[in-house]
Amino acid sequence: PIRSRNLLLAGPFIESGLVAPVLLSGRVSMLSLGEDAAKGLGLEVERSRFLCLLTVLLLAGGAVALTGPVAFVGLLVPHVVRFFTGADYRAVIPCSMAAGAFFMLTADIISRTINAPAETPIGLIFSLIGVPFFIWIARKEDKGFD
């Protein structure tokens, strides 16, 4: 269970980590074009990479501090969202936030009802969804499709 003390400590990091991806989404889109193209467009590549890494660390650290290691959310959701929105990270990042919350809420509801009154671990529910999807993604990328 999330304790209010943990939320008070992790809250500011999570809040700053939720604003930063929206502000950095244009830079991420330029970085996805390749380093040379991003430099040609005037982007400070190393600084942008550092800011993106710092944002990921803030979000991952805050999420793990509050909920524990539910790894598939951060790995699965952006792939699903990218399938629907395309490769522009100005759309992928905010849509991933909303879709991640939706997937976790759905997994939480399933975990609470599948074996009521006992509660099935939410990580187990999400893994049942995520593992087959990642096997499919890995096989697809291994064959050279994109």
**HEC secondary structure over 35-75:** HHHHHHCCCCHHHHHHHHHHHHHHHHHHHHHHHCCCCHHHH
Average pLDDT over residues 85-96: 90
- Residues 100 and 73: their CA atoms lie apart, in Å, by 6
pLDDT at position 127 is 75
First-residue to last-residue Cα distance in the chain: 40
Q: Which is more confidently placed, 29 or 1?
A: 29
* % of the chain exceeding 70 in pLDDT: 86
pLDDT at position 145 is 45
Q: What is the pLDDT of residues 103-116, one digit of tens each?
A: 888 888 988 898 88
Location of structure tokens 């790995």 = 75
Q: What is the pTM of this model?
A: 0.56
Least confident range from 27-41, 50-64, 81-95, 102-116: namely 50-64
Average pLDDT over residues 60-80: 74
State the maximum Cα–Cα separation within the chain, in Å, rounded to a whole number. 59
